[in-house]
Amino acid sequence: METAVKLTKLAKCAGCGAKVGAGTLVKMLEGFQTHYDPRLIVGYDKSDDASVYVLDKDTALVQTTDFFPPIVDDPFLYGQIAAANALSDIYSMGGEPKLALNILCIPEDMEQTAVQEILRGGYSKVYETGAIITGGHTIHGAEPIYGLAVSGFVPPDRVLTNSNARPGDVLILTKPLGIGILTTAAKAELVETSVLERIYRQMTTLNKAARDIMVRFSVHSCTDITGFGLLGHSFEMAQGSGCSIHLQADRIPFHPECYELAEMGFIPAGAYRNREYAASGVKVLGDVSRAMLDICYDPQTSGGLLIALPKEEADACLAELNAQSTLTCGLPVAAADGLPAAAIIGYVTEPQEAALFLQK
């Protein structure tokens, strides 16, 4: 849909690149008084993707919220991406979304048709999950912001957190990196339409299929790769699990076009925040290029899942993931022209001198 005003021109930051840095968030929340409840098994103190509250022996409530300024100009597409990104937190915990509330901020002079298209995009993705949007809240502001508050359910004994990776586990990443770099370069019109269409398909592809596959295996830990980038989210997993994570740079899937753009300096501000947060715990081994390091710190919007599971199950899980036609940028693997699919990108060990290693 064409709009009189480009949505991305109304926003200072785009997508998950607008996310406040992880280190800043920790400081903001220090010293707050909270109630203790034994039924709350995952809270904000865990730095996880969603909170989890046990309702009974069979059911736990999973809750999250996520919203951001436009990452694309098309309002319908923006609504789809923002909704898919918010829903991802439920999937990364092993849950199923059930209810959602719209969160919307719009400039007073924004066209009504554009607002309707943003909401329609969000509704389309929530409908795809089988969940229901039951209401929401809208305010006026200087720039558009859209997202969802989402509630879902998961059996209490099958909750997946980002802090339970175990030595001997293998790590699988389900979507390629490079979204932040490519959308940054797109503002300078340096990205071909076909590439943009590909990353738009990726960002609107739900992590539902990946979740449905991974819960059939003995997954120990999971997180989705979004605003803190691969290294930021992996660093949180390593810290929370009390282990060291080893990422193999030559196995990490990324959109090939983003490498040259990274070399040219099209790096979103969020990547520098992610580096500031995680760099003290990251040790780079071997000849890892600066561009590759930037790609690993690049903030992703509606990124893939990072799954930690036993080595003996990893190949079977990966095979099922890559047989699922909706995982590779929304295209069947065989039709994706050699684009990166889900991949085994590293492994977990007992704690070593660094929490996270990036090695070639």
153-201: pLDDT as tens digits: 999 999 999 999 999 999 999 999 999 999 999 989 999 999 999 999 9
Instruction: State both tokens at 4.
Output: 């009189």
pLDDT score of 1: 46
Between CA 108 and CA 144 the distance in angstroms is 10
How far from chain centre, in Å, is Cα 102? Answer: 19
> Strands 132-140 and 96-106, how do they pair?
parallel
Instruction: State both tokens at 134.
Output: 């039951």
Strand order in the sheet with 96-106: 40-42, 51-56, 59-68, 145-154, 96-106, 132-140
Between CA 300 and CA 207 the distance in angstroms is 14
CB 226 within 8 A of CB 88: yes
Closest among 138, 202, 132 to 173, alpha carbons compared: 202
Q: Is 219 helix (H, G, I), strand (E, B) or coil?
A: coil
Q: Domains in the chain, please, with CATH?
A: 7-158 (3.30.1330.10), 169-359 (3.90.650.10)
pLDDT score of 161: 95
Q: Taking the CA of residue 355 as centre, how many other CA atoms within 13 Å lie in the half-sphere pointing to its CB?
A: 20
Amino acid of residue 143: E
Phi, psi of 304 (to 5 degrees): -85, -175
pLDDT score of 327: 67
Between CA 22 and CA 353 the distance in angstroms is 22
pLDDT score of 96: 98
pLDDT score of 27: 64
- Cβ-based neighbour number of residue 137 at 10 Å: 10
Instruction: State both tokens at 6.
Output: 């480009």
Given the residues 13, 16, 222, 317, select the one marked as catalytic. 16
H helices of the chain, in order, are: 22-28, 75-92, 112-129, 179-186, 193-204, 208-214, 229-241, 257-264, 269-278, 290-297, 311-323
CB 66 within 8 A of CB 122: no
H helices of 40-192, in order, are: 75-92, 112-129, 179-186
Return contacts of 292-296, CB within 8 angstroms, 24+ apart.
292/249, 292/252, 292/259, 292/262, 293/358, 294/181, 294/262, 294/267, 295/177, 295/178, 295/181, 295/252, 295/254, 295/258, 295/259, 295/262, 296/177, 296/229, 296/230, 296/231, 296/247, 296/249, 296/252, 296/358
Closest among 152, 68, 72 to 104, alpha carbons compared: 68
State whether the Cα torsion 279-292-240-154 is positive or negative. Answer: positive
Phi, psi of 54 (to 5 degrees): -75, 125
CB 81 within 8 A of CB 7: no
CB 179 within 8 A of CB 303: yes
This prediction has a pTM of 0.90
The 10 Å CB-count burial string (b at 16+, else e) for 165-184 is bbeebbbbbbbbbbbbbbbb
Q: Taking the CA of residue 319 as centre, how many other CA atoms within 13 Å lie in the half-sphere pointing to its CB?
A: 5
Between CA 278 and CA 320 the distance in angstroms is 32
Q: Is 65 helix (H, G, I), strand (E, B) or coil?
A: strand
Residue 258 falls in the annotated catalytic set: no
pLDDT score of 294: 98
Mean pLDDT by 10 residues, the chain (360 residues): 59 55 60 84 77 97 96 96 97 97 96 96 98 97 96 97 97 97 94 95 96 97 96 96 97 96 95 95 97 98 97 97 74 57 96 96
